[in-house]
Structure 1
């Protein structure tokens, strides 16, 4: 699977100054939509499926992209809110999954101000291929923001890209120990930790999987 767009580059080492985490996504939205949709929800998350709610629940998909995961969760009977800050990707998602009853919201990390103001709480929060777009100081803000949206007893599931980065993207190395420490300080108990290969077969790319449950 070719990278989109361009050749591979190294991990960015800046402290958060510069382009937003969505840099490069608008221009490549059509190609990315095709890439996202060519693998299924169960393929991506098969090792964490046992952590999904077993009854209809309130679900939040942060950085939902084209809504592949959000639509799959809605089909399981959940009430799903999909947050995607890139308008072009939201448009693809609304078109591709028009009948899925997913509620789309224009909001962004690290603070998720629109959701925070609404005051809703969710039983499951998905952060798929999102966290590595945040600089260290942004992650320190984002984790409390996400935890604040998680209902007591709720589950947070994350996948974090590790390795090479496409040119034109803003990504950072994310130590798993940092995620565990930040989540633990907020009362999130780890229930899953694993690593898998890249489903698109990209050399030098792997994915960390992390699951947490908020203490009741």
Structure 2
């Protein structure tokens, strides 16, 4: 199991993650982040937060006085390291996991930013439709969902499934998510030549405003068509 691997190698993996900065890892979409961080009220969800590098950066950079950041990590050993790293920052750690995120859904909250970095490949193809539906339901109407895709073999006992942008785009269409941006293939920041990355940024599709007379006309038209 991948969670067991992350718990068993938490110290080594944490040092690896913290050897690279947020800006290095997420440079392809930083220009979308700045307007989010400047909002008066801000809620952020990092799913697969690891040892806290990304939530630490986001909490330090957030300009809002009303900032809520939730770090979701199923590997307890990594999460404990993240809790130490972010102990003086507005970060709440929760042990939870996709595809359902039951504890997060139970918060009955939506988010301005949802980050899924180096997680998607751990979900099997059968889990992905529910996972993306869960994430889209947690995103507010002006929020951003950022998903990184890892291409390349697993170097160890961690279970990693093949991923593709086409598959993710098809699932996103089913979840009423619109592609806002996508990166070209990114080289691995840790220098692994067999690994490369893509980052896709989604936002909810705009729902057109329909007046009551227009809605009635649509309903009547469908009725006559039947």
TM-score (norm 1): 0.88
Deviation at 1:125, TM superposition (A): 0.2
2:215 equivalent to 1:205: no
| 1:32-47 equivalences in 2 (<5 Å) | 32-47=13-28
**Are the aligned partners of 1:23 and 1:168 in contact in 2 as well (CA < 8 Å)?**
no
Deviation at 1:23, TM superposition (A): 4.2
Counterpart selection for 2:88 from 99, 105, 113: 99
The 3-state SS of whatever aligns with 1:170 is coil
| 1:62-141 equivalences in 2 (<5 Å) | 62-77=47-62, 78-141=67-130
Deviation at 1:100, TM superposition (A): 2.1
Larger RCO, structure (CA 8 Å, separation 6 or more): 1
Give the 4+ runs in structure 1 shifted more than 4 A: none
Counterpart selection for 2:162 from 173, 179, 194: 173
Q: Alignment RMSD, CA only?
A: 1.2
**Are the aligned partners of 1:59 and 1:81 in contact in 2 as well (CA < 8 Å)?**
yes
**How many residues were matched structurally?**
197
Measured in 2, the distance between the counterparts of 1:99 and 1:118 equals 22
User: Which structure would you say has the larger Rg?
Assistant: 2
Measured in 1, the distance between the counterparts of 2:90 and 2:18 equals 18
Give the helix-richer structure, 1 or 2.
2
